[in-house]
Structure 1
Amino acid sequence: MTEFNEQAVADTTDKKNDPEITSDMAVKALIPLLITFVLGTLCLQGFNLVFTQVGQAVGAPKQASLITALPSIVLGIVCFIYGSLGDFVSLKKLVTVGISLLLAGSVFGFVATFFFTPNIWVVIIARIIQTAGEQVAGSVYLVVASKYLKDSLKVIFFGIFTAGYQVSAAIGVFAAGWLTSIHWQYLFLIPVVTVIFLPMLLHNLPNKSGTGEKVDAWGFVLFGIATAFLTLFFSYNAWWMILVAVLLFFAFAVYINKAKNPFITPDFFRNKRWIMAISLILLFYLPNYSFSPIFNAIGSEIHHLDTRSISLYIVWAFIVAAICGTCSGWIIDKIGQRTGIFLAGGLQLVGLIAASFLVTASPMALVIAGCLYYAGTGLLYSPIVDTVLGTLTKDESGRGVGMNDLAMNVAGSVGIAIIGGLMTSKPLTGFSLSGATGSTANYGNLFLVAAIATIAGLVIFGVFNKKIYATDKK
């Protein structure tokens, strides 16, 4: 009987290690992971929309922005850490911890604010726990897709992932009007339903994910704190924070050169193909958070629209992004990654340039420009992520996912810090290619400033794409 049981376990293990079966099981795991990620993101969008009202409700209106800012900082850190841990830790353990945190944060936040006198720090702590748990689903999704899917399916599921994000963003924007009328404590309960997916995930996630090496806790802590200060700088523009971040990154560089088994080696950063590819993410995603706030300011100041009306316009751009993200796998399969990246970047560029000339046109004309920009954004994610991960070995793909997430978050933060400062100070009011002046010129020029990063990305990709797609891994 013992020999029979051992043989049965061995047969099951062999089957789960078969690439074809592993790919099928990965597909079954990716769907509940995506639903978990979408619901967590929808919760995030909900609080982003009503944090002012929540701050007033808990008697701390001046600190309300922390409800969004602090969980966002945590999001930037855990994006990298969870992706990198996928190379060392069982994905089943990661998902169990993540959904447990998501459930704990949801229940704690609802109970502590609904049945007791709400406090802003209770809200912030609950949101941080929720955010830390929700991001596990997104990171594990990308690790599973990059490690275990057949090559023919990778771009499809990368596209579905960005479509899921854009759908949740669209719902969040579209719901701007009625979310404020819901008792805000119920927002905490949006992701609770995801606990039902845990048994399915534990059954279908691949058995092996780590290299068997000991997790480099000191390396993760050092890099995580450095990343926190870097993200804080772009949130608060305190120069001492960037100094601390630089010193910590320098200490991290020294550490990985001296440590016996660092979680990421100096050779990782000497990979020229990866450096060229990751620079594309930094450039293409620099304007990523900027279009919506510029559109919002134009709608309010130039067209005198209220927030609800503005949201009903801009939501169409997010819907277009979701459609393009869903179709991106099929499109990239037909035209190839190189052409796909040029097409996506071109759509972004045309959308930004068109928007710069349409500031005083009807809001719907500006929406059409926004649809072009977000169509490029939806189409871009799948080929660019697959391109960056293609420069790494399979054993490095988890760290590659983490670095991609970190680059996207940091690039977007840098972009909105630059654009936000220019929106407030309005230094670009004296001239315009369209002949406008004043605020109209400033807003039009902001779109052109955002376009500079996209142009740089297209130029760099045009020059170096043959080297990026070379077969040599170094």
Structure 2
Amino acid sequence: MDAPFSRQEGMKLMRVVMFTLTLSSMSILMFNFVLPEISESFHLTTAQVSWVTSAYSLIYGIGTVIYGKLADRYKLKNILTVGLLVLAGGSFLGLVAQSFSMVLAARCLQASGAAAIPASAMLIPLRYFPPEQRGHAMGTAFVGLALGSALGPIISALMISMVHWRWLFCIPVFLVLTLPFYRKYLDDEEGSSAHIDWIGGFLLAASVTLWLLSVTNESWWLLLGGMIGLGVFSLRILTARQPFIQPQLFKNKQYTRRLAIAFIVNGIGFSLYFLSPLFLAEIHHLPPAWISMAMVPAALTAALLGQKGGKLADRKGNTYLYSIASSLLILCFALLSTFIGISPLWIAFFLVIGQVGQTFITIAISNAVSLTLLKEYSGVGMGLLSMLNFIAGGMASGIYGKMIDLGADVAWNPANVYTNGAVYSNLFLVLAVIHVLTLMFYLAIAKESFPLMMEESK
């Protein structure tokens, strides 16, 4: 720990983090449901108005690793203060916006401030809790994400039924109320005084932007640009005197292997959010309001059990929690693949299993990654994890969308008795198989690195 925290003080801080993540994740989701209203207000096409969410997502994803890098040098309390104030500034700009360009600028400003939240939420358990308590702390933080996912659609629908959609910008302003608590509980310790390689940071941001745009626009040229950008970034960190990311971080096999697993499982987990509304509408013909209601129990259950998952990681270890989580996800995808056309009530139950599994696996892999990092790399290391989680979701949505467009005439799952929804059945079957293979790989590397991990945690 960086500060002599008592367990009681530590959990008070994590409850503040949980509240912050709840409002932050709500802010990300809520505007997805009002794009038609924004389009109508400013007479825009769907492609034009989609930049409200696309621009936010790009800046938010890239910003997490930049804030993580800054946290290795500056006080975490100051980084959070700046981030939350910028977020509030963007919210006020959006509230008074009279043109689409102002709305877009407001969302970009919000994203540039909000990106400080996931970076800090990952770092606080790592810096302020010993390894034997870190799982519980991370579990508390991820409760906020689950709550935000559950409340976002409900609050959005409720607000736009009573007031103008611009008032959605007000929700993040309440995060300013958390600043006194962060200023109180976070210490004044600063990191190294090393120079920050902003050229390297720009190259990383450009590469990520091109990669994600190549998926959303189905452009091989953008993909090629992203690969070239990544190559130039790699050359930069190998030759710069003080690179944006130290190459030694990628020589840590424990870190890079777990980072790869996190990328895969988060890309798979995104299917629960992306595919579920699509097949509930296409196969079960549910209206949007009922689709939201079908997904709310899963998010609420995950929120209720998040801390339990963290405690399991502390008591039994990350491998134990990962195994349980992966088993739940395999079961969820197998059930969805087999019973894709069953009653929506059963689908809602299957999603509960999957959402709890996804929350548990996020806690397990985040905690496992944190244990592989030296203190001087903790900020950028956890920032990279957050950014890759975001990239995984963005790339996965493009892949899932393409697979659905291609369609399928035959279900690969021999146990599937439903004639409709073959493409969704096949997708969920493939995801279940990938999870089985990923679990086998995780267990193999966990067994290999167990003695070293025990030595590092002493």
Q: TM-score range by the shorter chain?
A: over 0.9
Decide whether aligned partners of structure 1 residues 317 and 211 sit closer, same or farther in structure 2, where only a CA change above 3 A counts: same
Which residue does 1:60 correspond to in 2? 44
Residue 155 of structure 1 pairs with residue 135 of structure 2: yes
Which residue does 1:306 correspond to in 2? 287
Question: TM-score, length-normalised on structure 2?
Answer: 0.93
1:191-233 per-residue CA deviation (whole Å, 9 max, x = no partner) reads 1122233233223212114112122222212112212212222
| SS at structure 2 position matched to 1:400 | helix
> Larger deviation: 99-108 or 203-212?
203-212
The answer as to whether partners of 1:102 and 1:131 remain within 8 angstroms in 2 is yes
Correspondence list, 1:129-148, <5 A: 129-148=109-128
Which residue does 1:73 correspond to in 2? 58
Residue 166 of structure 1 pairs with residue 168 of structure 2: no
1:422 aligned to 394, 397, 403, which one? 403
Structure 2 residue identity aligned to 1:52: P
2:35 aligned to 44, 48, 51, which one? 51
Correspondence list, 1:363-378, <5 A: 363-378=344-359
Residue 354 of structure 1 and its aligned partner are, at CA, apart by 0.6
> Larger deviation: 187-196 or 169-178?
169-178
Correspondence list, 1:183-202, <5 A: 183-202=164-183
Distance 1:373 1:441 in 2: 20
Distance 2:117 2:241 in 1: 31
1:277 aligned to 258, 261, 266, which one? 258
Residue 223 of structure 1 pairs with residue 208 of structure 2: no
Structure 2 residue identity aligned to 1:88: R
Distance 2:8 2:276 in 1: 43
Which residue does 1:382 correspond to in 2? 363
Correspondence list, 1:260-275, <5 A: 260-275=241-256
Distance 1:193 1:32 in 2: 12
Structure 1 residue identity aligned to 2:37: Q
Distance 1:358 1:175 in 2: 31
Which residue does 1:86 correspond to in 2? 71
Residue 135 of structure 1 and its aligned partner are, at CA, apart by 2.4
Which residue does 1:14 correspond to in 2? none
Distance 2:363 2:320 in 1: 12
> Larger deviation: 155-164 or 293-302?
293-302
Distance 2:439 2:151 in 1: 31
Which residue does 1:347 correspond to in 2? 328
The answer as to whether partners of 1:287 and 1:416 remain within 8 angstroms in 2 is no
Residue 38 of structure 1 pairs with residue 22 of structure 2: yes
The answer as to whether partners of 1:33 and 1:138 remain within 8 angstroms in 2 is no
Residue 19 of structure 1 and its aligned partner are, at CA, apart by 4.1
Correspondence list, 1:112-131, <5 A: 112=97, 118-131=98-111
The answer as to whether partners of 1:106 and 1:126 remain within 8 angstroms in 2 is yes
The answer as to whether partners of 2:118 and 2:386 remain within 8 angstroms in 1 is no
| SS at structure 2 position matched to 1:463 | helix
Structure 2 residue identity aligned to 1:393: L
| SS at structure 2 position matched to 1:469 | helix
1:404 aligned to 385, 390, 399, which one? 385
Distance 1:266 1:431 in 2: 43
| SS at structure 2 position matched to 1:416 | helix
Residue 234 of structure 1 and its aligned partner are, at CA, apart by 2.5
> Larger deviation: 253-262 or 32-41?
32-41
Question: TM-score, length-normalised on structure 1?
Answer: 0.90
The answer as to whether partners of 2:411 and 2:425 remain within 8 angstroms in 1 is no
> Larger deviation: 448-457 or 29-38?
29-38
Residue 69 of structure 1 and its aligned partner are, at CA, apart by 1.2
Distance 1:435 1:148 in 2: 49
Residue 355 of structure 1 and its aligned partner are, at CA, apart by 0.7
Decide whether aligned partners of structure 1 residues 28 and 214 sit closer, same or farther in structure 2, where only a CA change above 3 A counts: farther
1:120-139 per-residue CA deviation (whole Å, 9 max, x = no partner) reads 22212111111221221221
The answer as to whether partners of 2:21 and 2:141 remain within 8 angstroms in 1 is no
Decide whether aligned partners of structure 1 residues 358 and 173 sit closer, same or farther in structure 2, where only a CA change above 3 A counts: farther
Which residue does 1:98 correspond to in 2? 83
Residue 464 of structure 1 pairs with residue 445 of structure 2: yes
1:337 aligned to 313, 318, 323, which one? 318
| SS at structure 2 position matched to 1:20 | coil
The answer as to whether partners of 1:102 and 1:129 remain within 8 angstroms in 2 is yes
Residue 351 of structure 1 and its aligned partner are, at CA, apart by 0.3
Residue 453 of structure 1 pairs with residue 434 of structure 2: yes
> Larger deviation: 318-327 or 369-378?
318-327
2:373 aligned to 381, 388, 392, which one? 392
1:163-208 per-residue CA deviation (whole Å, 9 max, x = no partner) reads 1001000012334643441310100011112223323322321211
Structure 1 residue identity aligned to 2:19: I
Q: Percent identity among equivalent residues? A: 25
Decide whether aligned partners of structure 1 residues 215 and 429 sit closer, same or farther in structure 2, where only a CA change above 3 A counts: same
Decide whether aligned partners of structure 1 residues 177 and 19 sit closer, same or farther in structure 2, where only a CA change above 3 A counts: closer
Distance 1:144 1:68 in 2: 28
Residue 96 of structure 1 and its aligned partner are, at CA, apart by 2.1
| SS at structure 1 position matched to 2:408 | coil
Distance 1:400 1:23 in 2: 25
Residue 263 of structure 1 and its aligned partner are, at CA, apart by 2.8
Structure 2 residue identity aligned to 1:130: Q
Decide whether aligned partners of structure 1 residues 213 and 23 sit closer, same or farther in structure 2, where only a CA change above 3 A counts: farther
**Number of matched pairs:** 452
The answer as to whether partners of 1:159 and 1:326 remain within 8 angstroms in 2 is yes
Residue 460 of structure 1 and its aligned partner are, at CA, apart by 0.8
Larger radius of gyration: 1
Distance 1:187 1:176 in 2: 7
The answer as to whether partners of 1:155 and 1:329 remain within 8 angstroms in 2 is yes
> Larger deviation: 161-170 or 261-270?
261-270
Residue 375 of structure 1 and its aligned partner are, at CA, apart by 1.0
1:389-433 per-residue CA deviation (whole Å, 9 max, x = no partner) reads 211212211112111112211222222221111112213546542
| SS at structure 1 position matched to 2:270 | coil
Decide whether aligned partners of structure 1 residues 244 and 18 sit closer, same or farther in structure 2, where only a CA change above 3 A counts: closer
